Amino acid sequence: MAHNRLYAPAVAAENVLGIVRRTLTERALLASDGAPHIVVVACSGGADSCALLLALARLAPQWSLSLVAASVDHGLRADAAADVAIAAAQAERLGVPFRALTVQVARSGSLQAAAREARYAALHALAKQHGASAIAVGHTQDDQAETVLARMLRGGSVRGIGGIAPRRADGVIRPLLDCTRADVRALVRAEGLPFVDDPSNDDRRFLRARLRAEIVPALRDIDPRVVAHLAGLADDARAADRALRGGATRLLTRAGREAPAIALLTPADPALRRRALARWASATTGRACSRAHLEALDRLVQTGRGEVRLVAGWVARVSEARLVAVSGSPPLQRTAGDSRNGA
């Protein structure tokens, strides 16, 4: 899909608004009980969030929406205040109340992750203050495709390849998720609304920037619809993950949540068994299970021999035909013919 096409305002609006309307309906982003909805719209000053605010403002009468636009200054860039000012100007043009939020970002660990956590905390606090039922953010279909690629490159599971959820359990919704970045930018330009570009989007030290600038264009040369196809893969992966999650829950319930019976785990479908083992390990240790740990646990269940060293000092073993975990236990003594499954 070409990124340089131009639309007349009416055509651009019809294109994006039609897609957003379908997304709200078909993905059930808002309750369909006919009650009014207060929605906090996260605005960065960029084109995507500007298009999101515009689309929701246009659809507000039909959907009984009351909007509050909010922009978060993370205090990480000298020009961040200017971005907030652009977001405020967008909201003013569209007649939407605006709130500027300031957060402190922890400087330890991943700066991007810390900024995201601080941003969502501020948005949730604002949503609670206004009695909002949802927080709308501006992820597009291109963002979804880039997320799927990034997780595939990092060895992601079916759950990871599910990418960005259209609606999260905490009320965060993504009404633009079926719109391309090209379409939302065309809409903003056609409407003459101001916007800024985040310089980190072009910083190729970040994987997402390299995917956006190099990998996705190369894939688009092979398949012009690669973005839509990757987004469709994410939908399929989330559906498969829901099925696996339900099956794993039932399997663990039958086998025993704290010490599952090996006789019930071993004949189970391998995908269900591994998902059940991942849930058991996570519940036991309080940490996510790595692929290496999961493979080792699966071997342990099938052979009944050895042990698997999990995180935080936990060790998994088979005892009395059940999978058990002990904390801070010394390793098993090797015996003739014994194999160690440690990961």
Return the CATH number at 87: 3.40.50.620
On whether residue 4 sits in a domain, the answer given is no
Last residue of a domain, one of 234, 269, 296: 234
Beta strands in the chain (DSSP E): 37-42, 65-73, 98-102, 134-136, 172-173, 308-309, 314-319, 322-327
Q: Are residues 290 and 230 in the same domain?
A: no
Q: Are residues 286 and 165 in the same domain?
A: no
On whether residue 250 sits in a domain, the answer given is no
Listed in sequence order, the residues at least 6 apart from 126 whose beta carbon sits closer than 8 Å to its beta carbon are 40, 68, 70, 99, 101, 132
Q: Are residues 217 and 260 in the same domain?
A: no
- 146 Cα distance to chain centroid: 11
182 touches 5 (CB < 8 A): yes
Q: Are residues 155 and 260 in the same domain?
A: no
On whether residue 284 sits in a domain, the answer given is yes
Q: Are residues 191 and 65 in the same domain?
A: yes
On whether residue 251 sits in a domain, the answer given is no
What is the enclosing helix (H) or strand (E) of 193? none
CA angle 90, 93, 98 (to 5 degrees): 60
Q: Are residues 174 and 64 in the same domain?
A: yes
Alpha helices in 256-303 (DSSP H): 262-265, 270-285, 291-303
Q: Are residues 228 and 303 in the same domain?
A: no
Using CA atoms, how far residue 88 sits from 46, 104, 310, in Å, is 12, 21, 49
User: 315 phi and psi, to 5 degrees?
Assistant: -130, 130
Q: Are residues 72 and 166 in the same domain?
A: yes
Last residue of a domain, one of 234, 266, 301: 234
pLDDT for 156: 79
Residue type at position 322? R
Q: Are residues 224 and 273 in the same domain?
A: no
Domain that holds residue 181: 9-234
Q: Are residues 30 and 81 in the same domain?
A: yes
On whether residue 39 sits in a domain, the answer given is yes
Q: Which of 334, 268, 341 is nearest to 310 (CA)?
A: 341
**Total number of domains constituting the chain:** 2
On whether residue 227 sits in a domain, the answer given is yes
Predicted TM-score (pTM) of the model is: 0.84
User: 14 phi and psi, to 5 degrees?
Assistant: -60, -40
On whether residue 239 sits in a domain, the answer given is no
Q: Are residues 218 and 274 in the same domain?
A: no
Each residue's pLDDT, cut to its tens digit, for the chain (343 residues) gives: 333 344 555 556 678 999 999 999 999 999 877 779 999 999 999 999 999 999 999 999 999 999 999 999 887 777 788 999 999 999 999 999 999 999 888 877 788 888 899 999 999 999 999 999 999 999 999 999 999 999 999 887 898 999 999 999 999 999 999 999 999 999 999 999 999 987 777 778 888 899 999 999 999 999 999 999 999 999 999 999 999 999 999 999 999 999 999 999 999 999 999 999 999 999 999 998 888 999 999 999 999 999 999 988 899 999 999 999 998 655 444 433 333 444 4
Q: Are residues 221 and 269 in the same domain?
A: no
On whether residue 70 sits in a domain, the answer given is yes
